[in-house]
């Protein structure tokens, strides 16, 4: 996990669900196959109508047509990010699109755990309603260790909630890597921890 995450912000509102993050008709793709993993990035936030809940007015495209990686690195969202179905493909799709962190007021718990368990992105929570304070296209910087978000475009700074017990899991590269690191799982090849 990087200690500093810097990039352009893509701003969303409340109740962005997993169907908006990766539409169900793309779930036939297998993220374990590199070519298909790239396709998840291409389809992340791709087919949501402009008037759909949670999206900014005038809906700015998350990425250009036929691009696999978005120009944005951080999603700023409101309440209940990742609600809806429990599909683990949602954080995978955002990761494949180049998203390194999401900052939301709070998450649907299953999305949050899927993001952490696979170490797909860093899910920060904010006590401030940042989706009304940051604009799509602003350059933001997140100091992961200090739990601070700086809007480099405006100079504003906000404290984020600490990652707490999920920080070591993200640092290890996911739940299974963490479990091996702390001796909860044995190495399947040698039988040793």
The more confidently predicted of residues 185 and 168 is 168
pLDDT band, very low/low/confident/very high, at 188 (cuts 50, 70, 90): low
CA dihedral of residues 5, 8, 13, 16 (deg, nearest 10): -70
Kindly report, residue by residue over 130-179, the tens digit of the pLDDT: 999 999 999 999 999 999 999 999 999 999 999 999 999 999 999 999 99
- Of 2 and 142, which is predicted with more confidence? 142
Does this model's pTM top 0.85? My answer is yes
Domains of the chain by range and CATH? 4-161 (3.20.19.10)
Paired residues of 71 in beta bridges: none
User: Measuring CA to CA, how many Å separate 88 from each of 7, 58, 60, 119?
Assistant: 24, 29, 25, 12
Of 81, 92, 85, which Cα lies nearest the Cα of 12? 81
Q: Which residues of 143-176 are buried (b: 16+ CB within 10 A; e: fewer)?
A: ebeebebbbeeeeeebebeebeebbebbbbeebe
pLDDT tens digits, one per residue of 89-141: 999 999 999 999 999 999 999 999 999 999 999 999 999 999 999 999 999 99
Phi, psi dihedral angles at 97 (to 5 degrees):
-85, -5
Residue with tokens 């109508």: 49
Query: Across residues 63-79, what is the average pLDDT?
Result: 89
Average pLDDT score, the chain: 88
pLDDT of residue 63: 77
In angstroms, the CA 141 to CA 160 distance is 12
Taking residues 28-49, report their average pLDDT: 82
């Amino acid at each position: 996990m990087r200690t500093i995450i810097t990039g352009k912000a893509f701003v969303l509102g409340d109740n962005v669900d997993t169907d908006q993050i990766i539409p169900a008709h793309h779930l036939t793709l297998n993220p374990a196959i590199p070519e298909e993993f790239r396709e998840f990035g291409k389809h992340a936030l791709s087919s949501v109508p402009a008037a759909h809940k949670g999206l900014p007015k005038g809906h700015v495209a998350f990425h250009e047509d036929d691009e696999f990686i978005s120009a944005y690195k951080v999603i700023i969202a409101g309440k209940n990010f990742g609600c809806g179905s429990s599909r683990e493909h949602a954080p995978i799709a955002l990761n494949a699109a180049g998203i390194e962190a999401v900052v939301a007021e709070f998450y649907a718990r299953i999305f949050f755990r899927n993001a952490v368990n696979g170490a797909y992105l860093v899910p920060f929570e904010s006590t401030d309603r940042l989706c009304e304070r940051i604009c799509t296209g602003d350059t933001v910087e997140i100091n992961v260790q200090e739990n601070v978000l700086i809007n480099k475009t405006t100079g504003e700074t906000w404290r984020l909630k600490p990652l707490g017990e999920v920080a070591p899991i993200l640092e290890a590269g996911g739940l299974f890597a963490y479990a091996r690191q702390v001796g909860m799982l044995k190495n399947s090849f040698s039988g040793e921890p």
